[in-house]
Amino acid sequence: MTVAPATDDAGAASSALAVVTTGLHVEYRAYTDSTITLRSLVSQGFHGRERLTVHAVRGVDLQVRQGEVVGIVGSNGSGKSTLLAAIAGLLPPSQGSVLVSSQPSLLGVNAVIAQSFERIHRSNLVGMGVLPLQFLDGEDATSLGLTGKETFEISGIAADLHPGKKLAVHAALEGRSTKFTVTARIDTPNEVDYYKHGGILVYVLRQLIRRN
């Protein structure tokens, strides 16, 4: 796997380190016997099954500075998602270490309002600390006269945020204002915790710090 910076060294040197991986290894166990039956799996579990170890990420040393953009290329197209998942705290390293000094941001985006969300899209927003908000049935940007150029103020987030909570939105543009209600598409108590911490990465890091 090759990790190449897309910024010049002078620009990178002036920024603090945001991500550091040292000797990072991530391994999977793959079971090779294809004739396993549900009955034997229930009765015997995984004991005695043939397996091999897949080295998805091996010995990656990486330094990324704040504001820097890097390109990640796997030797055969593999390993990129695994590396990102390990940096995000979604996969524990088999060896090595991952240090992250800052939380992800999406160009200052704090919330997204839409008529509906695809499941993975909604989950990814919460994982990045972005609040997914859904119009009520029968309402959308057109019916409410919204152009997307408004300044939006969302009320009720700090007080007892819970799955499906109704929040008030005030949209203002050039002296005209529109008020409407949306549903917070944070669907589980765990997602509430992720969002309150600024995303799953920060949540996982704080949990690790607390345990240590």
Query: Comparing 33 with 186, which gets the higher pLDDT?
Result: 186
In this structure, of 95-104, 116-125, 170-179, 203-212, the range with the lowest mean pLDDT score is 95-104
Quote the pTM value: 0.53
7 has pLDDT over 60: no
Residue 78 confidence (pLDDT): 64
Is the four-CA dihedral 207, 94, 100, 198 of positive or negative sign?
negative
How much of the chain exceeds pLDDT 90, in percent?
Answer: 32
pLDDT 10s digits, 121-143:
888 889 888 899 999 999 999 99
Mean predicted confidence (pLDDT) in 201-209: 80
In the DSSP assignment, the letter for residue 136 is: P
Sketch the domain layout of the chain as residue ranges.
2-100, 111-211
CATH class of domain segment(s) 111-211 = alpha beta
pLDDT 10s digits, 183-202:
999 999 999 999 998 888 78
Q: Which residues contact 143 (CB under 8 A, 6 or more apart)?
A: none
- Measured CA angle at 119 (ends 118, 125), to 5 deg: 90
Residue 105 confidence (pLDDT): 52
207 has pLDDT over 90: no
pLDDT 10s digits, 99-125:
877 555 555 678 999 999 888 888 888
- Measured CA angle at 45 (ends 42, 51), to 5 deg: 135
In single-letter form, the type of residue at position 192 comes to V
Which tokens belong to 133? 């908000």
What is the Cα–Cα distance from 30 to 34, expressed in whole angstroms?
Answer: 11
DSSP codes joined into one string, 162-184:
-TT-EEEEEEEETTEEEEEEEEE
Instruction: Give the number of other Cβ atoms within 10 Å of residue 120's Cβ.
Output: 8
12 has pLDDT over 80: no
37 has pLDDT over 80: no
39 has pLDDT over 70: no
What is the Cα–Cα distance from 104 to 203, expressed in whole angstroms?
Answer: 12
